[in-house]
A and B are shown apart, each in its own frame.
Chain A
């Protein structure tokens, strides 16, 4: 019966080409618009570190006060003073400070022109905390942090560019005229969005080339390549003044494995801010936050509003396409009332009629899905029109999207056919036979 209804459906589609084309286009366009915008939304709103998103927290401390902070929220990074204080208190099992740096390297020895490379100044805990995979060697220990050692971890890509992919552990690299000993080479690692360093970044830039110890970067007075945000009267004239200022530029992360640890850490932050108030450094009551990865991405508005709006618009568009399809299916089915009457009179049950017409709708859905797939491919290649190249290239047509497109197209069309098919099944055989 299934195959029979399928052939009936296909034959019926051929009988009314204009109406069929209209329905297929409707479904195809609707599903393609939704899938294109969904592919971008999926990429930008995903969880970059699913295993540990609930254990990684970034603390915020208001060092600007109610007059100068951002609508009551503490700044999105820490001042040097607060960052170092949190590290020294060491209230979490694992903790890291970090900031982005841009340095230069001579890729072909001293006679080549320098190129700029991007990386992060981090603490040793960074690598285990964020589950950075290693190809050669490893990260570094807390002792290296404290010893302010001149060491570096390279990315797989950067190691490929510099050393042709060979095991470079133990070799030296010169960044901005300073030597570092290579202790590790990561495997390709590029969580998107780059949740851990959003201060002065959209979260979708090229992956880092290297990592150096935070303490070493400070010794060399390497400036942040990210944001540096200050408030109020500034008196800084040099590096040391800048470190002591209220300028925020350091991103902290801590790993807290249980709810009680989170509560304890929150208490610690409150206590720290209260101490600062007592000491006269803050003239306001404690105003601290502790957000985990997904809360942080949400707070930082990592998903561009264009992505949300375009997804909503295309879903609305899809809804209209479906309503349109309901109307067209109704017209198509009811036109065949006489034929239904004959079938019913010959003994077909309502159920059978219902099945037959849902099947016919499903064939429209398949055709719409295939068209939708083609249009989605076109749409995805056009995402660069709306989004920056870093985001546009995240959208791609993978197997799951292909499957989703077809399934959505078929299910939506069949759902749209429920009412028209029900109306078809309600046809009174006696009436139709009489009037013919």
Chain B
């Protein structure tokens, strides 16, 4: 479904040009649940943004479902079926949750259809549907609405950048259920998640460890997970949350 051929990304910094993604090649199959983990600053979020076209690659080629999308912009890639859930969702003054879900669905979906997506992410739909996606929503509510916008699109490749960041324990468990349900789609959808969390790694078909802009390891869950469990690449969010509580 997705091929990254020798892609690199350099960015300007105070100390001159730095390489964030360094000659990565990667093949992702259809109908997989793939988790990218690795240390902070290792290039995980950047890699996700390069796939969605939010940042342009400096070198290499990206092929999606047989189409070279290297020079396509965000909109064109979105229309081909790439979805992206942001780590820190943006707020909009005036746009309602319903407006956003209708934009995501690409059509004037009914209120009851929109409500179904909200219920999926554990929000009581009637309380939220007319609300503005503005500062009155908490970070956790915003994050769930962000996930609902991906559900409202029938994407081939769904990318989630740290979906667990900012959500509570209850919705974390719900999130796992959403991923499992999303994978049951009939279009061979692949889900690509950036996460350190053991519970998400636990349901992965495949795990990629990214560090310093390069792929350190790539393989099936059974191959990779035992080696990284308990390290910072695979932490137990539930234990952490209960310790904090």
Q: Real complex partners, A and B?
A: no
Interface residue ranges, A against B (CB under 8 Å):
none
